[in-house]
Amino acid sequence: MKACVVLNENMSKRLIAKGVAATPLVKNVLAKGTVLITLGTTNAIVAEEILDRPIDRGAFAAGFIDDRWNINARVGEVGEIVLREGKEVTVDSQELLDSLGAGDLIIKGGNAIDPWGVVGVLTGATSGGTVGRYLPLALARGVDVVIPIGLAKTIHSSITDLARELGSGKVDRCMGIPCGIFPLVGRVITEIDALEALFPVEVTQIANGGVGRGGGSVSLLITGEEVAVEKAFDLVSALQGESGTVLEGRA
C-alpha cells in the first residue's frame, strides 16, 4: 500500500519528536544514563514527548531564523534539560561537563542538512555556543549525539564546504547576526527516520514547500503493508492541529 502525506512545520516537529522518543538509543540512555536536551524549537517538542509535560517553547530556544539570523529575546529564561536514568535533575554546568561520557546522550538540533546527510548548525556566539561547549567533549569521550531536524531544512550545498566559507569574521553584511556553521556528527532523525522508527514502513521524500498553509511543508510517500501504512497515515493526520511556537527576536 502507498500513501502520500503533507506535514507543515509544526507537524514535522511533533513527528520528529515522537521518533526521537521511540529510538532505541534514546530509550536505552534514558533508562541507564544521562540525557542532555539542548535549547531549540524542535528540542522543545522532543522534551515534551520525553517528559510527557508541556514546555515553555517560547523560552526554549537560542538562535532561530525568521526574516534574519536572529536570537531569542527570551534566551536565558530557561536552561537545558538534564535527565539521569529518566528523571529530570538540576546539575551545575561544570559538573555536567565533567560527568558526561560513553553511555550518555546529547540531543542537539540543526539549521541545515545537506545531500550527504550532514547537519550543520549556525553558530553566532564567538565561543561556539552550545556546539563549542558540548560537541568536542562528546567526540572525545564517546558521548552519543542525536540530531532532530526537519527535511524542510534540506540544502544543496556541502555543509563542510560552507563551514570553510562562513564565520562572523568573514561575513561583510548579514541580515541579522553573522554566523559560522558547524558540521554535527551523530544520529540524524528526520520525519523519514521518525516514521520508520514508529512503524514498519518505508518513507521517501517527494517535495518541499508549498503555498499558504503548505509553506515550509514536507511531502512524503509511505510504503508498506496496509495495516502499517494506515497507522502511519492516521498518526500524521492526527498531527494537523499541532500548534506553533511564538518567538520574538532581538537581533
Tens digit of each residue's pLDDT (9 = 90 or more) over 152-170? 999 999 999 999 999 999 9
pLDDT averaged over the chain?
96
Asked if residues 44 and 54 have their Cβ atoms less than 8 Å apart, the reply is: no
Q: What angle do CA 26, 29, 33 make, to 5 degrees?
A: 150
Long-range contacts from 234-241, C-beta under 8 angstroms, 24+ separation: 235/15, 235/18, 235/198, 235/199, 236/5, 236/7, 236/11, 236/15, 236/195, 237/5, 239/7, 239/10, 239/11, 239/14, 239/15, 240/11
CATH class entry, domain 12-194: alpha beta
Encode pLDDT of 126-150 as tens digits: 888 999 999 999 999 999 999 999 9
pTM attached to this predicted model: 0.96
C-alpha cell at position 176 = 541579522
* DSSP three-state, residue 119: strand
Residue with cell 521511540: 22
**DSSP letter string, 39-102:** S-HHHHHHHHHHHTS---TTTS-SEEESSSEEEBTTTTSS--EEEETTEEE---HHHHHHH--T
98-107 mean pLDDT: 97
